[in-house]
Amino acid sequence: MSGRVLVTGGAGFIGSHISEAYLRGGWDVVALDDLSRGHQRNLPAGARFVQADIRSPEARKLLADGGFDVLNHHAAQIDVRLSVDSPAFDASINLVGFVNLLEGAGEGGVKRVVFASSGGVVYGDPEVIPTPETAPKLPVSPYGVSKLSGEYYLRALAALRGFEGVAMRYANVFGPRQDPKSEAGVVSIFVSRLLADQKLIIFGDGRQTRDYVFVKDVARANVLASTAKIPSGSDLDSPAFNIATSRQRSVLELADTVGQVMGRKTEIEHAAARPGELFRSALDIGKAKAVLGWSPEFPFDDGLRELVTWFEKEAR
């Protein structure tokens, strides 16, 4: 099944892979981005590009008049620390911008909205690992609050305006085109530092764990979530899916694997642990498997090799 989709953040890391996956599935793709972080070179051939801010009347009008079946929303302010310093700025993009798009989606008769939420932040410090969708939500950063609030807005406006809403709660996504300057991209940071013969800096003892999912698996999940039958239910978690691998990997293990795959010796320097950082994190993906028929296909090392190859080409 295919149709016409607007991918916001389409010139960014995850959004560009999603645009590619939709095109492969036969969808008609329009990508919207203000290029504040994304790059036009990331866009796949075949996608039409609109440069606009999601907070603008132009973005809302595009959805109202564009004849889209699906809004796939990935544009965001993604920096947790910036959200701590400037929560109003974070909310202006991640909440007000999103609601502006939802109004346009309602006016334009969009059938489904797929929203990039974050399983890494909405659950706070979870007791159960791998964490299921139904775990208590307790985000600690303004970014986490804006992602969770986005899910609430989506749920309310879906019911009020008559479209379906789906929330994708990602673990740590990695792969080609991830900006090593973004603090979320520890895999990219390690690869780029090793290529530059620099030491890897690990905050704390390095035993903290994360769940790393490859971006092409994430893109495929988005295409499936655009047409799959979504469980009915008025609670927040019914239309939400963890997109992850369920496997925990410590930062020390990550550093080791990156060194092995790149055939380089890793030198590690420890820095002070970051306050508020989660100690363990992995997400339960049983629901995405059962409902979307999705599970991750890329072994971690294969994804890492693709990332390294991309970096080597970029550096030339």
Which amino acids are annotated catalytic?
143
Print burial letters for 207-217: b (CB count within 10 Å at least 16), e (below 16): ebbbbbbbbbb
CA angle 24, 176, 165 (to 5 degrees): 55
For residue 172, which phi and psi values (nearest 5 degrees)? -80, 115
Closest approach of ligand NAD to the CB of residue 47, in Å:
13
For residue 2, count CB atoms less than 10 angstroms from its CB and return exposed for 0-12, middle for 13-18, buried for 19 or more. Answer: middle
State both tokens at 79: 């920096």
> Would you say 208 and 252 are in contact if contact means Cβ atoms under 8 Å apart?
no
The whole-angstrom separation of Cα 49 and Cα 23 is 13
Residue 113 DSSP label: E
Looking at the Cβ atoms of 264 and 274, the one nearer to ligand NAD is 274
One-letter amino acid of 91: A
38 lies in the site for ligand NAD, by CB under 6 A: yes
x/- binding map, residues 155-174, to ligand NAD, per CB under 6 A?
A: ---------------x-xx-
Give how many residues touch ligand NAD by CB under 6 A.
29
76 lies in the site for ligand NAD, by CB under 6 A: yes
Single residue of 6, 7, 14, 71 touching ligand NAD by CB under 6 A? 14
Give the SS3 label for residue 171.
Answer: coil
Looking at the Cβ atoms of 49 and 203, the one nearer to ligand NAD is 49
Single residue of 6, 15, 47, 287 touching ligand NAD by CB under 6 A? 15
52-60, 103-111, 279-287, 293-301 -> range binding ligand NAD (CB under 6 A): 52-60
> Would you say 186 and 306 are in contact if contact means Cβ atoms under 8 Å apart?
no
Residues in 82-111 at the binding interface with ligand NAD, rule: CB under 6 A: 93, 97
Closest approach of ligand NAD to the CB of residue 202, in Å:
18
Residue 94 DSSP label: I
State both tokens at 316: 């030339």
For 44, other C-beta atoms within 10 Å of its C-beta total 17
State both tokens at 181: 């300057």
Looking at the Cβ atoms of 186 and 308, the one nearer to ligand NAD is 186
Closest approach of ligand NAD to the CB of residue 305, in Å:
19
x/- binding map, residues 187-206, to ligand NAD, per CB under 6 A?
A: --------------------
> Would you say 144 and 123 are in contact if contact means Cβ atoms under 8 Å apart?
no
Looking at the Cβ atoms of 168 and 194, the one nearer to ligand NAD is 168
Single residue of 9, 165, 176, 296 touching ligand NAD by CB under 6 A? 9
Strands (E), 126-234: 164-170, 172-174, 200-203, 209-210, 212-214
x/- binding map, residues 217-256, to ligand NAD, per CB under 6 A?
A: ----------------------------------------
Looking at the Cβ atoms of 11 and 70, the one nearer to ligand NAD is 11
The whole-angstrom separation of Cα 170 and Cα 116 is 7
Looking at the Cβ atoms of 267 and 307, the one nearer to ligand NAD is 307
Single residue of 5, 7, 11, 101 touching ligand NAD by CB under 6 A? 11
Q: Where along the sequence are the contacts to ligand NAD (CB under 6 A)?
A: 9, 11-15, 33-38, 53-55, 74-78, 93, 97, 116, 118, 120, 170, 172-173, 184
